[in-house]
Amino acid sequence: MTLSRRDALRLLGAGAAATLLPRPAGAIRRPGGEGTRSVDVVVVGAGFAGLCAARALVAGGRRVVVLDARDRVGGRVKAGRIAGQTVDLGGMWVGPSQTRLMTLLREYGIPTTPQYVEGRGLMELHGKRYFGEGEATGFPAAEEAALQRFFSKVRGLVAQVPMEEPWAARRAAEWDRITMEEWIRMEVRNPAIRDLARLMVRGLFTVEPEELSLLFFLYYVRSGNSLEELWGETDAAQAFHVPGSMHQLAGRFGVELHDRLVLDAPVSAIEQDDGGVTITSPAGQWRGRRAIVAVPLPLAGRIRYDPALPSHRDALTQRSPMGSVIKFWVAYREPFWRRRGLSAMVTSDRPPTDGFFDASPPDSSVGLLVGFFEARTAIEWSVRPMDERRALIVRRVADLLGPEGADAMDYVDNDWPSEPWTRGCYGANMGPGVLTSLGPSLRQPVGRIHWAGTETSPVWSGYIEGAIRSGERAAAEVLASGA
């Protein structure tokens, strides 16, 4: 069945319904009463991991169904609206070394725009403010030297971590016994850089430093090449974003999958036997030769498995909690900070936010700032009304960028910890002892069940790039099995 123009536009994230994936005309929604349907492979989750797994399987000639609990595709990539603009309420940036994502954007003709970095940026650390041109920190010599020592120490440790098997590092057990807070206290002497190191942990992992294993931190940095690349803009992880939202790409995938896609279909049970798998959801039951589960680790653990998962795999899902983040956008009639010579790249160790970026459209028709409540602060503010969060952020913008910041024309945010089918962002994290004892279960199939999701990727783990690669890897496993 051919998609209507209206449904296709909604699927692509255009117009007022951009926050939802539309149900395409051929898609199934809670049909019920049709008995068990047969396919080759059932994919659980329509985020980038599940969508890319399904694309690869379809290209390999397999009959596929993709089930998702939400009423949209994209998972942790989600579109929203502010001041007449379509924006990303979830994942949005792409860097030049994220080659699979860059290739797919080019393939679908979706343009990118560079992250705005012109003018002076602001660092607010340990009670002081520093202004630097472009991506320069503006630090005095002592702080700059301390920052470079910190980066150097991290690089030295990261180089010792095998990308595919971080638990096999020579010092893995030692590094997995301590938290990032303990390591920062031991290794970083300068007070401002110590605060910046903690801020980097919150900004990248959306947990507090005392919740994160040093080994997991090093593995994550290894997967993204370096801490400088993860944290930076030009030629780094935040180099580009997509006008009109990254969600457009997920929407294109959804259009192509068409009636292979089933929404509002939370999977409650997966049974497997010698002949295949049976997947149960309120939308019906499917039988396949293999399954790919492509949802966040904690949510994968909430599915009932028969037979039960091996204890090490189940323990991994229990001990890998999601980070906590509320992503916000605030709109102004123009990017007023540019007239003041400011880039609006703000980094702050003062709650509620570690800062924000200028994400205005290329024509500067409206001024847009994007930022985050993270870690403990996100948990604290998740229970508060959005109006209170708006008032707080607007006050901070006015304090940091100028009095015009008090005159915001629009605000929107997305409370990821409150979303029932995500329960947090950006990804699952591991505290001390988890990666060395349970890490080998991340990608290891359990019978006919294969695992995808950005956390399972050794390359760009935690990012859209990692999700894409994980889905393609899981599909390759299934194809190699002959299913």
Class in CATH terms, 5-76+246-309+446-481: alpha beta
- Mean pLDDT on 76-104: 98
Nearest to 76 by CA among 444, 434, 399, 454: 454
What's the pLDDT at 2? 36
Neighbours of 334 (CB within 10 A): 13
More confident residue, 282 or 354: 282
The token pair that represents 184 in the structure block: 């920062």
**Which CATH number does 141-231 carry?**
1.10.405.10
Residue 11 has pLDDT above 90, yes or no: no
Domain(s) labelled CATH 3.50.50.60 in the chain stretch across: 5-76+246-309+446-481
**pTM for the predicted model, two decimal places:** 0.94
Domain(s) labelled CATH 3.90.660.10 in the chain stretch across: 80-96+238-243+323-418
What's the chain's average pLDDT? Answer: 93
pLDDT in tens, 182-201: 999 999 999 999 999 999 99
pLDDT in tens, 236-281: 999 999 999 999 999 999 999 999 999 999 999 999 999 999 999 9
pLDDT in tens, 93-104: 999 999 999 999
- The amino acid that residue 463 corresponds to is Y
pLDDT in tens, 419-437: 999 999 999 999 999 999 9
Main-chain phi, psi angles of 12, to 5 degrees:
-80, 0
Residue 73 has pLDDT above 80, yes or no: yes
CA 44, 46, 50, 51 dihedral sign is: positive
The architecture in CATH of the region 80-96+238-243+323-418 reads Alpha-Beta Complex (3.90)
**Pairwise CA distance, residues 386 & 94, whole Å:** 28
pLDDT in tens, 340-351: 999 999 999 998
Domain(s) labelled CATH 1.10.405.10 in the chain stretch across: 141-231
What's the pLDDT at 379? 96
